Amino acid sequence: MIKRRNKIQKLKDFVTFPLRALILFEEDKWGISSLASERFDYVRGEVLGYCLDVGCGRNNKFIREYLDNNGKGIDVYPYEGLKKENLVKDITHFPFKDNSFKTITFIAALNHAPSSLRDIELKESYRCLRRSGNIIITMGNPLAEILIHKIVWLYDRMFKTKHDMDSERGMNEEESYYLTNREIKKRLIKAGFRKIKMKYFLTQWGLNHMVIGWKR
């Protein structure tokens, strides 16, 4: 399991945020955290136990490295490092029994679910979540999300790299670069979640955050 960031590391990350936002790296280096690992670290702090990570992406990284395999990661696209057990064809029905998980996460993922299926996915999350469990959805500031996606897309085109998982998979017309807090909250309430709150990532200058809801 990757160590949690201490206060000194968080201070370094806060000061270097503009640099980290513009220089694309997916792993920690130069004594500072990547934006991805920083986001994982924030989410890990809210996980209550056995976790389902929806839209887990390459290598099922959050579950494997940040939760020490205490959970399951699922995705619809066969990204590098994913096994057969990680892949689902029908996102309208998760292949798990009721009350299977203590926490369910959508880390920069809910906006990539087709808009017509988001409510169904959240209902499935509610079904699979144990009582008093929580759901965690990360989402960036709208302008920041659009800018970062454009920068990453341009970087990949210029240098023939593959930083952008969205370009690798292809964006569906029902996907979005971001969702507003109002939409996320409305959909969570519709799915049955309560006590919804937001927590901002201070070391990313509040331009990224979590929306957390609870199952009664």
Q: How many structural domains comprise the chain? A: 1
Encoded tokens for 93: 């029905």
Give CA separation, 38 vs 12, 33, 45, 145, 155, in Å. 12, 6, 11, 16, 21
> 1 in a domain, yes or no?
no
Encoded tokens for 147: 């800018």
Give CA separation, 196 vs 20, 119, 145, 184, 214, in Å. 30, 16, 22, 10, 7
Q: Write the pLDDT tens digit of every residue in 84-125.
A: 999 998 888 999 999 999 999 999 999 999 999 999 999 999
Give CA separation, 59 vs 20, 34, 62, 86, 87, in Å. 22, 17, 9, 10, 12
pLDDT of res. 22: 78
How far out from the chain centre does Cα 201 lie? 13
In the chain, which stretches have pLDDT less than 50?
Answer: none
pLDDT of res. 159: 64
Q: Write the pLDDT tens digit of every residue in 47-63.
A: 999 999 999 999 999 99
pTM over 0.95: no
> 3 in a domain, yes or no?
no
Domain limits for position 206: 38-214
Encoded tokens for 98: 């009721």
Residue 100 contacts residue 128 (beta carbons within 8 Å): yes
> 29 in a domain, yes or no?
no
pLDDT of res. 198: 97
Give the CATH number, domain containing residue 115: 3.40.50.150
> 7 in a domain, yes or no?
no
pLDDT of res. 168: 59
